[in-house]
């Protein structure tokens, strides 16, 4: 199922986080003032109404520049407001670091339909890459929550793993580890070096891809699905990479609407090129959102028809790539319409080793 079909409104609930992940690029964008550390509830409701009026989807998603559960009461209010509009049709997704209490877990079990927990592997890997404040281990709480939710049958629970270059070669071991935890869905991404995070070691993404392939087939043999953003459209020909190109709204804590998870704030905090992803702003006085039609047109032109006249000309896998992830490629290439060469090499490699159009993928991450 083409990744763009996963249409929903995303609430970037909080810019605060209770972990200090070594590869996080958000702190480098600058510290937000207290009034911009959590999303405005009226803004969230207004954006939700606009989205539901314009789209048949009744899906909402909690994500964030920080950890959404740090604003747990706000999450609950937004969900309750969405339920008033969507009723039984409402679908709720949460992408979380998994570092939350049992009482928050109780609410998640009753109210969330799709849960992605970030975990980079066994404690020795996870605690190195994703420590709590003051470098304290976070794996104990995270693993307890993974084990809990892997047993909840009504929910789709998956793992979101960031793979550092030194761990590219152990992807099969990671699949074995997550399988033992009862997990059926894993989405992995190599850590990225970019203008948003120049301190991170630049990974050779094609090396990630080479070790992804055997892990993909191992997962398949175990009844699991191992995914990465590089292959999300391998099951169907598409015109655009993902819902960012529709665009579907991502509401920020500082009162802006962006199209992409990488555009986590308004223009003031984003690296220059990512500012093209921002297409709306909340007016607190009028209680409405002003949308920029020109920005929307620019975003919507990021499609295969435009790409095939430029960098992607004569690319045989363009219908299964569509230029790749907007955020991840444009912070490398510096241009909304110019894919990353590294991304292209890795995707081409994967397309040679993972058959295209072999049936719909069982889940879509983010």
Residues 167-208 pLDDT 10s:
999 999 999 999 999 999 999 999 875 556 666 667 789 999
What's the mean pLDDT when you consider all of the chain? Answer: 94
- Residue 154 CA to chain centroid, in angstroms? 22
pLDDT value, residue 81: 98
CATH of the domain at 205: 3.20.20.70
Decide if 131 is inside a domain.
yes
- Percent of the chain at pLDDT exceeding 90: 86
Question: pLDDT: is 14 or 195 the higher one?
Answer: 14
CA 36/CA 34 separation, integer angstroms: 5
Q: What is the mean pLDDT of residues 296-300?
A: 97
Q: What is the mean pLDDT of residues 283-312?
A: 96
Q: What is the mean pLDDT of residues 72-80?
A: 98
pLDDT value, residue 324: 95
Rg (CA), the chain: 19
- Percent of the chain at pLDDT exceeding 70: 97
pLDDT of 1 higher than 60: no
- Which residue in 232, 228, 253 sits closest to 243, CA to CA? 232
pLDDT value, residue 194: 58
How many domains is the chain built from?
A: 1
Decide if 130 is inside a domain.
yes
Task: Give the global pTM.
Answer: 0.96
Read off the pLDDT of residues 203-262 as tens digits, 9 standing for 90 and up: 789 999 999 999 999 999 999 999 999 999 999 999 999 999 999 999 999 999 999 999
Read off the pLDDT of residues 152-164 as tens digits, 9 standing for 90 and up: 999 999 999 999 9
pLDDT value, residue 126: 98
Lowest-confidence pick of 7-11, 112-116, 336-340: 336-340
Decide if 235 is inside a domain.
no
CA 198/CA 204 separation, integer angstroms: 15
Q: Distance of CA 207 to CAs 167, 204, 296, Å?
A: 11, 5, 35
pLDDT of 45 higher than 90: yes
Residue 36 CB partners (closer than 8 Å, separation 6+): 15, 253, 254, 255, 265
pLDDT value, residue 341: 92
Read off the pLDDT of residues 83-123 as tens digits, 9 standing for 90 and up: 999 999 999 999 999 999 999 999 999 999 999 999 999 99
Decide if 175 is inside a domain.
yes
pLDDT value, residue 269: 85
Decide if 200 is inside a domain.
yes
Read off the pLDDT of residues 129-149 as tens digits, 9 standing for 90 and up: 999 999 999 999 999 999 999
Decide if 363 is inside a domain.
no
Residue 251 CB partners (closer than 8 Å, separation 6+): 9, 10, 11, 12, 39, 43, 44, 47, 257
Decide if 33 is inside a domain.
yes
Decide if 270 is inside a domain.
no
Q: What is the mean pLDDT of residues 294-301?
A: 97
pLDDT value, residue 193: 58
**Residue 148: domain span:** 3-228
27: confidence class by pLDDT, cuts 50, 70, 90: confident
CA 16/CA 90 separation, integer angstroms: 27
């Amino acid at each position: 199922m083409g990744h763009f079909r996963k249409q929903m409104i995303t609430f970037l609930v909080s810019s605060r986080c209770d972990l200090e992940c070594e590869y996080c690029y958000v702190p480098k964008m600058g510290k937000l003032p207290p009034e911009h550390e959590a999303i405005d509830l009226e803004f969230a409701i207004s954006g939700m109404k606009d989205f539901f009026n314009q789209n048949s989807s009744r899906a909402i998603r909690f994500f964030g520049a920080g950890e959404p559960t740090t604003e747990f009461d706000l999450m609950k209010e937004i969900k309750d407001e969405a339920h008033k509009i969507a009723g039984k049709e409402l679908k709720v997704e949460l992408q979380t670091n998994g570092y939350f209490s049992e009482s928050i877990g109780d609410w998640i079990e009753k109210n969330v339909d799709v849960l992605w927990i970030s975990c980079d592997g066994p404690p020795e890997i996870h605690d190195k890459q994703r420590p709590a404040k003051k470098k304290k281990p976070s794996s104990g709480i995270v693993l307890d929550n993974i084990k809990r939710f892997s047993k909840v049958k009504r929910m789709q629970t998956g793992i979101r793993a960031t793979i550092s270059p030194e761990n590219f070669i152990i992807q099969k071991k990671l699949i074995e580890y997550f399988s033992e935890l009862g997990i059926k869905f894993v989405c992995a991404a190599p850590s990225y070096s970019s203008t948003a995070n120049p301190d991170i070691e630049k990974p050779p993404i094609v090396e990630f891809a080479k070790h992804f392939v055997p892990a993909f087939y191992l997962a398949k043999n175990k009844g699991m699905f191992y995914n990465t953003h590089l292959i999300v459209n391998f099951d169907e020909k598409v015109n655009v990479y993902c819902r960012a190109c529709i665009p579907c709204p991502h509401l920020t804590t500082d009162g802006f609407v962006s199209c992409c998870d990488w555009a986590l704030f308004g223009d003031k905090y984003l690296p220059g090129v990512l500012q093209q992803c921002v297409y709306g702003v909340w007016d607190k006085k009028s209680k409405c959102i002003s949308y920029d039609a020109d920005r929307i047109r620019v975003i919507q032109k990021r499609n295969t028809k435009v790409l095939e006249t430029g960098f992607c000309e004569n690319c045989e896998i363009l219908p299964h790539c569509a230029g790749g992830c907007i955020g991840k490629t444009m912070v490398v290439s510096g241009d909304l319409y110019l894919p990353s060469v590294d991304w292209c090499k890795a995707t081409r490699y994967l397309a040679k080793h993972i058959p295209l159009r072999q049936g719909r993928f069982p889940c879509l991450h983010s």
